[in-house]
Amino acid sequence: MHDDRSLVEARLKRVLEERIRPAVHPESVPLEVAVWHAPDEPVPVAEGLAATPEPIEVGARWGAPWGTSWFRVTGTVPQEWAGRTVEALLDLGFDENMPGFQCEGLVYRPDGTPVKGLNPRNQWVRIGAPVAGGEEVRLHVEAASNPVILDYHPFLPTQLGDKATAGSEPQYKLTRMDLAVLDENVWHLVLDLEVVGELMAELPVDSARRWDLLRAVEKALDAVDLQDVNGTAEQARSQLTAVLSTPAVPSAHRISAIGHAHIDSAWLWPLRETVRKVARTTSNMTALLEDEPDFVFAMSQAQQWAWVKEHRPEVWARVKKAVADGRFVPAGGMWVESDTNMPGSEAMARQFVHGKRFFLDEFGIENEEAWLPDTFGFAAGLPQIIKAAGSKWLLTQKISWSQTNKFPHHTFRWEGIDGTRIFTHFPPVDTYNCSMQGREIAHAARNFKDKGVARHSLAPTGWGDGGGGTTREMVAKAARLRDLEGSARVVWETPKEFFTKAEAEYPEPPVWVGELYLELHRATLTSQARTKQGNRRSEHLLREAELWAATAAVRAGFPYPYEDLDRIWKTVLLHQFHDILPGSSIAWVHREARRTYEGLAVELNAVIEAAQRALAGEGTRELLFNSAPHTRAGVLAGGARVPAVEGESALVPRAGGGHVLENGLLRVEIDARGLVVSAYDIAADRETIAPGRAANLLQLHPDFPNMWDAWDVDEFYRNTVTDLTDAQEVAAEGNAVRIVRSFGASRVTQLLSLAPGERRLLIDTEVDWHETEKFLKLAFPLDVHAERYASETQFGHFHRPTHTNTSWEAAKFEACNHRFVHLEEPGWGVAVVNDSTYGHDVTRTVRTDGDAGTTTTVRVSLLRAPRFPDPETDQGVHRFRHALVPGAAIGDAVREGWRINLPERRITGAEEVAPLVAVDRDAVVVTAVKLADDGSGDVVVRFHEAHGGRARATLMVGFAFDAVTAVDLLERPLTEAGEVTRDGDRLALRLRPFELVTLRFGRS
């Protein structure tokens, strides 16, 4: 037989596009349209429905950026359509290639009942099936004219990302407002041909099945009368019946399809618009669930559920019913799909506490999976947190975006820093917006790396980010793929059903140890420095507020601010969403975030001050309140007293220019350029700075990645560097050295100081930043030979190599730390600690003094200046605090990291304050002291082993208690916990490396 494959395939494409798809709606009549433009921000539904609209014609332009327009569409169903299915087709000016990134709408009935969302792939509203004819149609559309930020030419700087700069030019053209007949036979024919054609294209050319499909397509096309598609559609479908009913082979891959709509809680739109995106999508999905009995939809992010409950009670009622039916599934058990690299220990724990508790309180549902399809890499401390929250599974697909190395598994156990292992799945479909296209299903089956030992994978199915979720077409395609020769088998299932099956069939999968590093989006550790500072400072203010409010509640009857702390925690958690904290949202989002963090700081400082006043009483003694988890100036952690005097420090001129700081522990030489050329550990008789090098060196790089400007820094940025060594001023200021530099349009002012009794050089840096597409680093070349270094992560630290032996190590040229980076030779080490930065790099260099060996350079990432999606990213004044800590063991790094983030608070009063709890070993770090969330008055204490070794310690309790229980993060008793050994007010602790423990004390 002659090879006519290309001819038939081309014929299928044209006939579908030009004849069959247009026949899906063969008859239509126009609707009358009127519009009212809300004058500013979105208005309540009742106000929008009551407004008086003005007539508008199809073809007219509408919608200023970020505006809201209320369309009223009216019409009458023609009598001659009686007995047929009729829909309203409402095209606001959609681009079908961009679902979720443009205008959207939510359709209401005149009484305010929401019907469904309008999106580029979802422009229909069912009027009747069948209609009687003569029905009056009246619908209202709340249309959002969100501008297109990420356009066909992506990453171009735009002022559209902030309402204040976006202008008022109409963004869209009203395209279609019709009543139309739906020919369901033709609609099904389209899907039959798409499924067969897409499957055919994925099969080997020499396979018999591909040719069976080709011949069936040819017969179906022959049966279509192109002048009467509607009259011949049923006949054409009959030619495909046989090939669509041939079952899959027994070994076919199994795909659990899960209805999904990944909605970024903020990104290229502000938070207020996400509230509406969620309402549109949930309206769509509850409507689809009513129409499709096999369909299952899962939605994560408890915050988004809470928005529906608060802002759209009518939609919430439908959601609750669908949840009760088991088909609208709460997923993930987190407050938002957060970044997991940068949130601190307690914040990461609280993501699960608040997320899981919301679903338990509202629905009685316990999530067992963490659902993070789009998060930019996963910190090595996360498995223990997932387990401590009562969950056991993790899903993501983002690691498939890695640029350098292909991850070797799709199903595996992920081992965290403490040894906890979590059953983890990466969907091989490699998208969280699967649309049931044949190429996606075939890719999932071919790509699955665990063939031969497992055959189940998951496919999150639906358009996200306001694209409307799963469509009826996706559901119809999945039905055809349920058992089809040549394809993977597709079935709708919940996350729990998938994970249960996957774990049962693969009980001993391979193990991946350590972080799940995304080889992409590394610059998110630095972009939008103010947002990151707001997060870090909010986390530590919350620690202080809980600690002192709990202490004051127990000791002085202080009213514990349960509701305020709950609200503030949820606000901080929301802003840890993976496009807010990483700095990859539009200007509007970060402008609001700055204002939010400022307001939270005022509230939290007021709580802290009030609690401390209640504890200190009236008096004239200066008391130091120590919020850090280690003794400071003679004050126990969590206590307050008159601080001890800790020696002196001196500042003297340096021979050859510059200054010398000395305090008996360190001698630091700062040359005439304002660079640290020596940091001498006096007790160890050891130099810290690499020979011939200088620390406190600001370095400036060009920074123009190939794409994803706010997200990415590409390795070639290192090819060009400018050392900022010229100083306008290097002068003594009190017992500190003040350094001023100018470069480009920017200015840096630094203050270097050495506190009495402290083995750390403090570096306060103020940058008035006005650069564009530049990357600013702060370098510390250290005379330490180290093949690996430690960076803090949640509830511990994680080691990374300093070398680049393999492509896996080379790809980690920018990485995340929390409060410290630490490197050491046996017996002596150095830490670099910070109060608000995350990104850094560590490299090895051959010594320059002729001696053998290598030195190690730590560089802190300070600022970037990308122009997309916020063209003014980080312009203005920034303040950072870092410290160089010579002679630091890992415990010193832990302690100094806490101290720099929890500055001293001094208050005059009468009473010293004993801690509620104290630990006699620095290796055991208390991360939270609070009252139980249930309002019982119980005290909850969370701590972990922080040095990476086994620890025996005594926990001393400073209040009367009649019971102590080991609990999970949600403060529920642990059934598998060992007995807590008590001796009066003391508890004996035995912790394994990085073990996390939460204890609940019932007060007597």
The residues assigned a catalytic role are: 374
Strands 686-687 and 676-681 turn out to be antiparallel
Determine the longest span between alpha carbons in the chain, in angstroms. Answer: 103
The Cα–Cα gap between 417 and 515 comes to 9
DSSP code, position 690: P
The Cα–Cα gap between 48 and 64 comes to 17
Give residue 233's identity as a one-letter amino acid code.
A
User: From the DSSP assignment, how many helices (H) and strands (E) are in the chain?
Assistant: 19, 53
Q: 785-817 as b/e, with b when 16 or more CB fall inside 10 Å?
A: bbeebbbbbbbbbbbbbbeeeeeeeebbbbbbb
- The token duo for 349 is 């724990």
**Which residues partner with 828 through β-bridges?**
825
Strands 456-461 and 254-259 turn out to be parallel
Q: What are phi and psi of 819, to 5 degrees?
A: -85, -15
Rg (CA), the chain: 31
**Cα end-to-end distance, the chain, whole Å:** 90
- The token duo for 955 is 């926990």
The Cα–Cα gap between 122 and 885 comes to 59
Residue 934, C-beta contacts closer than 8 angstroms, at least 6 positions apart: 971
Selection from 255, 926, 899, 266 nearest residue 577 by Cα:
266
Helix axes of 562-574 and 345-363: crossing angle, nearest 10 degrees: 110
Q: 738-756 as b/e, with b when 16 or more CB fall inside 10 Å?
A: bbebeeeebbbbbbbbbbe
Give residue 698's identity as a one-letter amino acid code.
L
- The token duo for 332 is 């993930």
Q: Are 270 and 147 in contact (CB under 8 A)?
A: no
Strands 489-492 and 393-395 turn out to be unpaired
SS (H, E, C) 422-487: EEEECCCCCCCCECCCHHHHHHHHHHCCCCCCCCEEEEEECECCCCCECCHHHHHHHHHCCCCCCC
Q: Are 564 and 607 in contact (CB under 8 A)?
A: yes
